[in-house]
Amino acid sequence: MKLRTCPRLQPLKESIRFLTRKPAQFSDGSRICKRTFAGHTTAQQACDALVYNRHGHYDDVLQLEKVLLPPVGDEDLRIKMLAAPVNPADINMLQGTYAILPPFPAVGGNEGLGEVLEVGSKVCDAKPGDWVIPVDAGFGTWRMEVVCKATDVIPVAKDIPLLSAATLGVNPCTAYRMLKDFGNLKPGDTVIQNGANSAVGQAVIQIAAGMGLSTINIIRDRPNLKELKDKLKSLGASLVITEEALQKPEVTNLFKDIRRPKLALNCVGGHSAGNLLAHMEYGSTMVTYGGMAKKPVPVPAKALIFKDINVCGFWMTQWKRNNMHDLSEIKAMVAELAEMVRRGQLSVPTCTQVPFPDYKVALDATTRAYSSKHVLMME
């Protein structure tokens, strides 16, 4: 199944119309209902969505509201959302600190899985029942239904677990691109990463293992350290060590058995990023893709002068936008990741499923240390 491509997406669909006053009470807040509202001559469908009209803490700005769905145009799809994760970037978007910010009113959430319900008359490459994921950031996935251009989404295989499909488009894609596009890696090479238990980190471990790479995985100390180490090793991690252990002099003994890293993936920033640089190979690359510590990345002069380390960044959204003119590469990447899932090489990230109306539980957890990925379930 193919969906037609488009040159460029808008961050948030302008066609989404919001109610200015609440419609009559719905018995089940999370279900789609047909109603005729004042000011509209025809019956329009409304659905629940997590809406914000200004930036700030999610407790203050995010509200569960009814939004009206526009009619399905010739080139549109009507999609029922099935599941949508809460990622750190979603929180940054609500706070107004992310690199792209949808216009108000905005619906939260950038990633998620939907099922096609209705297909516009000119859409020939999608059918009801297909699973789709957004192409671009800013889609607004925290809602029960959406009407969008068929070209705003791409298909995802239906024979993989729902949670895998719902979490495939951002974090595994990021891990895949960083391992394929940086460091010129060959089997036997080593990758070091901090934030190794993050969703991106878990995907890095598994995709790297499939590429024949060794991984050194840095995590923060915690009460259930052994459990987490065992979990990451079961995914294929070569070594799992704490931030504290990485700073001990004896850590150099590790490199008797494993090559020094050609690639470092920095999820955290601050001292943690500096600690990665200390162990890298001459001429290696450090890619910063996250800033969880909210601290600058300290790069010692000696890392640049004596080790010639290349320090750069990666942003999946920009990569997708650079490839928007021809979606074949994005689709191929998603298809390859789905195949890894099918083969058992890429598991569902450790996650907690949260019913959509309990969204605050998921948002609270996402801002807490030592938490797992939380996914809003619309069904």
Which of the residues are catalytic? 98
Give least dist CB 63 to ligand NAP, A. 23
By CB under 6 A, residue 195 contacts ligand NAP: yes
Give me the least distance between CB of 50 and ligand NAP, in Å please.
18
Which residues, 6+ apart, have CB-to-CB distance to 199 below 8 Å? Answer: 85, 87, 167, 171, 349, 351, 373
Q: Do 154 and 135 contact (CB within 8 A), yes or no?
A: yes
- As beta bridge partners, residue 153 has 134
Q: Does 87 bind ligand NAP (CB under 6 A)?
A: yes
The DSSP call for residue 281 is: P
- Residue 267 touches ligand NAP, criterion: CB under 6 A: yes
Chain centroid to CA 176: 12
Sign of the dihedral defined by the CA atoms of residues 185, 160, 352, 13, in that order: positive
Closest CA to 273 of 321, 311, 223, 326: 311
89 contacts ligand NAP (rule: CB under 6 A)? yes
Contact residue for ligand NAP among 176, 182, 289, 359 (CB under 6 A)? 289
Q: Which CB, 87 or 238, lies closer to ligand NAP? A: 87
**Per-residue tokens: 119:** 């297909």
Indicate whether 370 belongs to the interface with ligand NAP (CB under 6 A): yes
* Interface segment toward ligand NAP; rule CB under 6 A; list 44-52, 169-177, 234-242, 329-337: 169-177
- Considering only residues 314-353, where is the footprint of ligand NAP by CB under 6 A? 314-316
| Residues in Cβ contact with 316 at an 8 Å cutoff, skipping those fewer than 6 apart | 170, 173, 174, 177
Q: Is 369 in the site for ligand NAP (CB under 6 A)?
A: yes
Q: Rounded CA gap, 32 and 66, in Å? A: 9
Q: How many residues bind ligand NAP (CB under 6 A)?
A: 25
Minimum separation from the CB atom of position 9 to ligand NAP (A): 16
Q: Which residues bind ligand NAP (CB under 6 A)?
A: 87-89, 170-171, 174, 195, 197-200, 220, 267-268, 289-293, 314-316, 369-370, 373
